[in-house]
Amino acid sequence: MHLHRLEKTWLGIGITMLALFLAILGTMAFSMGMAPPSEHHHTVDPRKVAETAPFDRPGITQVGDKHYEAVMVAYAFGYEPEKLEVPAGSKIDFTMTSSDVVHGFEIVGTNINLMVLPGEVSHISHTFDQPGEYLILCNEYCGTGHEYMKTTIVVK
């Protein structure tokens, strides 16, 4: 196959630009570090979640007037605590991690949807204005019992 001199020139320029782009992208990705973006970024040892505060005592505590903090641990195939109860109009600050694999955390009927990574501490808040029972589901496949992984928030 014969290539014209001009085709060879443009082919060389294209390959050079592609190589330069990949070199810059790779250098920037590894030189800047690779970590999930978060202003509250901190980690725990996933093998010692049950021994590390505040995850050694998961549950919900009142921190102010209609303001609660829920410390939760996702594990195969459930959440701890199994049920949360708050009055209507309450704001809940969720602090959670996983002790084994990647799990999802989705509160049906709200815009809360995040991934819970082993050892990564995740934070999210939501105000529950309407009374009812809110279902929390795992939306990341985590194993053979994944479809049974759920818990509830009861808003009175």
Range of the domain at 1: 1-35
b/e map of 99-112 (b: 16 or more CB within 10 Å)?
bbbebbbbbeeeeb
- Write the CA distances from 24 to 15, 17, 18, 53, integer angstroms: 14, 11, 10, 41
Calpha distance 105→116 (Å, rounded) = 7
Tell me the mean pLDDT in the region 31-42. 63
Look up residue 136 and give its two tokens: 């929390």
If pLDDT is split at 50, 70 and 90, which confidence band does 34 have?
Answer: low
Same-domain check for residues 31 and 53: no
Q: Is 15 helix (H, G, I), strand (E, B) or coil?
A: helix
Asked whether residue 23 carries a pLDDT value surpassing 60, the answer given is: yes
Same-domain check for residues 108 and 146: yes
Q: Is residue 17 part of a domain?
A: yes
**Which tens digit of pLDDT belongs to each residue from 120-137?**
888 999 999 999 999 999
All residues at 6 or more sequence positions from 1 whose CB lies less than 8 Å from its CB, including other chains: none
> What is residue 97's predicted lDDT score, i.e. its pLDDT?
92
φ, ψ for residue 145, nearest 5 deg: -100, 20
What is the β-pairing status of strands 90-98 and 67-75? parallel
Look up residue 37 and give its two tokens: 């973006």
**Which tens digit of pLDDT belongs to each residue from 37-52?**
555 568 888 888 888 8
**Which tens digit of pLDDT belongs to each residue from 66-124?**
899 999 999 888 888 888 999 999 999 999 999 889 999 999 989 899 999 898 888 99
Same-domain check for residues 138 and 108: yes
- DSSP conformational letter for 120: B
pTM: predicted TM-score of the whole model, two decimal places: 0.69
> What is residue 37's predicted lDDT score, i.e. its pLDDT?
57
Domain count, the chain: 2
Same-domain check for residues 94 and 115: yes
Calpha distance 92→110 (Å, rounded) = 13
